[in-house]
Amino acid sequence: MNEKVLALGQKCLRIVSSDKRTSSFLGGKPLVGGQFEWPRKNEKPLGFIGQLDLKEINPKKEIDWLPQTGRLLFFYDLEEWPWGFDPKDIGGWAILYENGHSDLFPYELPSGFDLDHLLPSIKYVKSESFISYPDVQRLDFESLGISEDDEEEYYDFIDEHFGDQPRHQIGGFPSPIQGDSMEEDCQLASGGVYCGNPEGINSKEAEKLRRELLDWKLLLQFDSDEEIEAMWGDMGMLYFWIRESEAKNCDFSRPWLILQCS
């Protein structure tokens, strides 16, 4: 592969299965060190889909914009399945930063929780240092001195790089299934612009938002995973995004989410 392309790689963490019991896992119920208010939308509890213990997952501070301690709990509306391109989708997901006692306890499901929205299995996970590469949509092959005929070779390179395991990931470039403009989509939709048609995307408000700082970072790419019966649409992915400036201040109250599937 072209050295110029390889130089574009960004450091990230890949989330893989652990053969040991950890306090980082996908599926199941929260395991926490303190009390919290379970997130709801329209008075209905969101589905819990996993948690990451930052001390376990990011011990070497390879992702320097994440806190060193605490746990991130991820929730998603498993009834409405919001896509994230409509400002009205807000509240259809949540990330809680829980930094309670180190002695963890199972958190009981809240009243009104639909058991059909409980991922039935638990997949204990750990992290591995990894390099992510940009999707073809982000590349200008001509400026890189690469023939367009090499595009297929690049896709093959990406597939071989990831292998057959689910593409669970923290930080770095996303692995888009549809469009690769997620940072901009987060900026526009969270700012009140509907991104489902050209009218919103080309609006004056959208242009104004594009001029602001786009400091969105990929907090978690959660792939479909048959091992825990997590299927996001048709073999899709959930992409949780957070502003770097807020993550550095342990503020995870305003994430944005994008759902993509084939």
pTM across the whole model: 0.95
Overall average pLDDT of the 175-201 stretch = 95
Overall average pLDDT of the 58-64 stretch = 96
pLDDT band with cut points at 50, 70 and 90 for residue 3: confident
- CA separation for the pair 256, 193 (Å, rounded): 13
> Could you read off the pLDDT of 201-256 as tens digits, one per residue?
999 999 999 999 889 999 999 999 999 999 999 999 999 999 999 999 999 999 99
> Could you read off the pLDDT of 30-45 as tens digits, one per residue?
999 999 999 999 999 9
- CA separation for the pair 35, 100 (Å, rounded): 8
The number of helices, as runs of H, and strands, as runs of E, in the chain is 7, 14
> Could you read off the pLDDT of 73-104 as tens digits, one per residue?
999 999 999 999 999 999 999 999 999 988 99
Overall average pLDDT of the 133-143 stretch = 86
pLDDT band with cut points at 50, 70 and 90 for residue 1: low
**CB–CB of 168/221 below 8 Å?**
yes
**Residue 225 has what DSSP assignment?**
B
pLDDT at 42: 94
**CB–CB of 52/119 below 8 Å?**
no
Q: What is the CA radius of gyration of the chain?
A: 19
What residues does 32 pair with on adjacent strands?
105
pLDDT band with cut points at 50, 70 and 90 for residue 14: very high
Going by C-alpha positions, the residue among 170, 193, 135, 192 that lies closest to residue 53 is: 170
Given 2.30.320.10, 3.40.50.10490, 2.30.33.40, 3.10.50.40, which CATH number is that of 3-260?
2.30.320.10
- CA separation for the pair 15, 169 (Å, rounded): 5
